[in-house]
Structure 1
Amino acid sequence: MNLDTLLQEFKKCSLLQYNGQLSIQDVQGNKWAFYYQLGQIVWATGGVHPRRRWLRNMTLICPEIDIDKIELRDENILIEYWDYLLLENSYHTGQINQQQFNDFVINTIGEILFDLAQQVNIADLSCEINQDTILKALMISTSTNMFIKEMQDSWYDWSQAGLRRISPNLSPVIRKPEKLRQQVSKSFYKNFERLINGQYTLWDLSAKMKQSVLAVTNSLRPFIDKGSVELIEIPDLPSSIIKIKKSGNYQQLNHKNSPLIACVDDCLQVCKILESIITSNGMRFIGIQDPLQALPMLIQNRPDLIFLDLIMPVISGYQMCEQLRRCSYFAHTPIIILTGSEGVFDRFRAKVFGANGFINKPIYNDDLTQILHQYLQTKPSDINIPELVLYD
């Protein structure tokens, strides 16, 4: 795949007014994900430094927020777009305004697109589109075509400067300090030493110095060419920069008599998220990724509530729902369809095939609370669904 082919994938999603996710992966296993709403990119994540990128943009765009007070529930860290959940929550709680939200989204998408423009020139990439996840995104004014145009312009300027092989994810470090001291003033060297220490990437330095990454890299180029400074790979920041808050205390139900919830979804990530939330509330859980094995496993375990993914290989959620309703064991078992689609027709079809309800991905805590309360006849206080929180 070359750059033109990659851009065609983005443009195709835009022209088709696509709702869903465009996933890109290289042969080394690095992944990037772009989330579309009505053909526009509303978020992107992935790459080699997702936590470093999130912290950098939060510090740059939302300096009034105390990073140490941001906490992410343990089950939400499993979600690929955890960074968007944190940003969205900070907006809904009034911690950041609309302009900050927009700037954060634009910066993030721009950085990831630039990384891909460079990556596509040095490695094989593959693309896949799916509707497993549709973000309930706050719309921004920048169109996908504008993002693509800015990426092309940035990559052209970067290439013209002779930097095609230099990634902004690399970190500069001083290799010949004595030689460098002889070339610059004492004050310059002191400031240089403070920043060029192998702890910050070129992206990080760009944010710290409030200059473009191109300007920062060009200013370092003479030192790099002379061997005084070397560019090295550094790891992403540790997970501890995002504090993980464990779910609150709950009254453990009797294991044998507690409700058993099943989820049939070929996406392991979805099953893990549901399992984490459901088991943390004292309920039992079965996750089934192979739809062909679902029916015998469900008959064997006879769950109290079943979540079915709508789009799966070989058999759809509608077809499986119809099969389950033909089985006497599941004539009255609540069945909830999981999907990224919000179409009225899909909701109607879910009812026709025997489903009790319909819940959209990504699964929000309030939606799941309502489903469990409605079909398991629990009190709202009995269900302790963890939330993504931003503490004061």
Structure 2
Amino acid sequence: MTHPELIFSDNLINEFKTCTQLQFNGELNIKSSKGSQWTFYYRLGRIVWATGGTHPFRRWRRHIAQNCPQIDVDKLHLCLQDVSIDCWDYRLLEKFYKTQKIQREQINSITENTIVELLFDLALQGNFGSISYNRSQKVILETPMSFTSAETSVKQMQESWKIWSEAGLASFSPDLAPILRRPTQLQEMVSPFVYKNFVTLINGKFTLRDLAVKMNQSVLTLTRSLLPYILKGIIELVEVPDIPLVVTEVNNKSITEQAKKPIAPLIACVDDSPQVCKMLEDIITSNGLRFVKIQDAVQALPTLIQDKPDLIFLDLIMPVASGYEICTQLRRIPAFAKTPIIILTGSDGLLDRVRAKVVGSTDFLTKPVVADKVMAILRKYLPTPSISINNGTSNLEVCN
């Protein structure tokens, strides 16, 4: 048997590395000789989501249960379009976030765990068959909410796979469901309390991963505890179907009313000065607009991509990355091709203005920041408050 650390194809690992080095935007599509498929979505060389595998709906249900206990998946009112579009699982997380039902930290956790889980399944499939892959420049997630290092995720997967294999579980998939085949023999071996739990849970309906969540254990711990019974034939691991989400009709009138409700434009300020950010925040929020501040230039691009503001104030001089560099990178992203980017600077030099225009800035605002100049910029480049901004949250309701 191949050493567990080498199960994951070196060629495939190199492909993940190449996508990172090229700052790839698009899809990495992977297929196994057994017919399984996975898709890893990239943005700027980092994995932002992954789909596919044996049980996409069960997986999504598990991660929601683990990370968002306030959401009852079975009470969601979904239409067919919600679960039939590309990246339906990620789109639902977006809707939860935009309707303030979950926080970004919860999305980050779900994303990271989903990616590692699918990489683990990929390693398992590679142990029993061949893997092929190809890249596609098709970009589905232009403004992702989470960025994950492929290198870190692969290392986590390799560590998990090594432990799983060394525990004697390499031939078992955590997507199989245990079912009790010899209840009488089990009853003679365990206490009445343990036996009752076995009968209740080991019924062939829940996969090992499902049971691990229900029992608040790691899937490794659970499977290792069941292994003696599996080897004796008391418990058998069987394949089970996925559990799709319930699709219902949503009241079209309520959807229309939600779509018509105006949402205030979001203004971002990228400036390492707390004073400038505070002044802008006071001016902008007092006029009924939303505001987000970014004082770390390194975090500017990921945060802007996540929040997708309607207008950006961008400081010219910052440590590590200048406003010129950030503006140049933003203009390379289709979602920011027309976003107003206003350069902030302490000088009013002609050279700065010319260079700012060259890198794609929309306008120029000199410091100190004053309310009338800020509002003049906002009135010039933003739609009037009476114009509704589509937040993409239609077709989803959650029963309270």
Fold match (TM-score > 0.5):
yes
The TM-score with structure 1 as length reference comes to 0.63
Q: Give, in whole Å, the separation in 2 of the partners of 1:75 and 1:344.
A: 27
Asked if the contact 2:104–2:145 (Cα under 8 Å) also holds between the matched residues in 1, the reply is no
Deviations for 1:251-307, whole angstroms, at most 9, x for unmatched residues?
xxxxxxxxxxxxxxxxxxxxxxxxxxxxxxxxxxxxxxxxxxxxxxxxxxxxxxxxx
132, 139, 149: which one aligns with 2:146: 139
Residue 99 (structure 1) shift: 1.8
Paired positions, count: 266
Q: Give, in whole Å, the separation in 1 of the partners of 2:237 and 2:170.
A: 14
Q: 1:248 to 1:193 in 2, by over 3 A?
A: same
Who is 2:198 aligned against?
192
Paired residue type of 1:19: N
Q: 1:28 to 1:72 in 2, by over 3 A?
A: farther
352, 375, 394: which one aligns with 1:387: 394
What pairs with 1:154-233 in structure 2 (closer than 5 Å)? 154-233=160-239
Who is 1:6 aligned against?
12
Who is 2:119 aligned against?
113
Q: Give, in whole Å, the separation in 1 of the partners of 2:129 and 2:161.
A: 16
Residue 125 (structure 1) shift: 1.9
Residue 53 (structure 1) shift: 0.6
Q: 1:131 to 1:245 in 2, by over 3 A?
A: farther
Q: Give, in whole Å, the separation in 1 of the partners of 2:249 and 2:45.
A: 35
Asked if the contact 1:3–1:121 (Cα under 8 Å) also holds between the matched residues in 2, the reply is no
Q: 1:245 to 1:41 in 2, by over 3 A?
A: farther
Unaligned runs of 5+ in 1: 250-339, 347-379
Q: CA RMSD in A?
A: 2.8
What pairs with 1:235-384 in structure 2 (closer than 5 Å)? 235-237=241-243, 239=244, 241-245=245-249, 248=252, 342=334
Residue 244 (structure 1) shift: 4.0
Paired residue type of 2:32: D
Asked if the contact 2:77–2:250 (Cα under 8 Å) also holds between the matched residues in 1, the reply is no
Unaligned runs of 5+ in 2: 1-6, 254-331, 339-386
Who is 1:44 aligned against?
50
Residue 208 (structure 1) shift: 1.4
Higher deviation after alignment, 183-192 or 61-70 = 61-70
Asked if the contact 1:85–1:388 (Cα under 8 Å) also holds between the matched residues in 2, the reply is no
Residue 2 (structure 1) shift: 5.6
Q: Give, in whole Å, the separation in 2 of the partners of 1:33 and 1:206.
A: 25
Q: Give, in whole Å, the separation in 1 of the partners of 2:207 and 2:146.
A: 30
Asked if the contact 1:168–1:213 (Cα under 8 Å) also holds between the matched residues in 2, the reply is yes
Q: 1:247 to 1:120 in 2, by over 3 A?
A: farther
Bigger-Rg structure (1/2)? 2
Query: Identity of counterpart residues, as a percentage?
Result: 45
Deviations for 1:48-90, whole angstroms, at most 9, x for unmatched residues?
1000111111112111112233233322422231001111111
Paired residue type of 1:98: R
Q: 1:109 to 1:247 in 2, by over 3 A?
A: farther
Deviations for 1:323-379, whole angstroms, at most 9, x for unmatched residues?
xxxxxxxxxxxxxxxxx9629999xxxxxxxxxxxxxxxxxxxxxxxxxxxxxxxxx
Paired residue type of 1:138: M
Q: 1:168 to 1:73 in 2, by over 3 A?
A: same
Asked if the contact 1:171–1:201 (Cα under 8 Å) also holds between the matched residues in 2, the reply is yes
Asked if the contact 2:27–2:41 (Cα under 8 Å) also holds between the matched residues in 1, the reply is yes
Paired residue type of 1:342: P
Deviations for 1:180-235, whole angstroms, at most 9, x for unmatched residues?
00000001100111111101111111111222111111000111111111111111
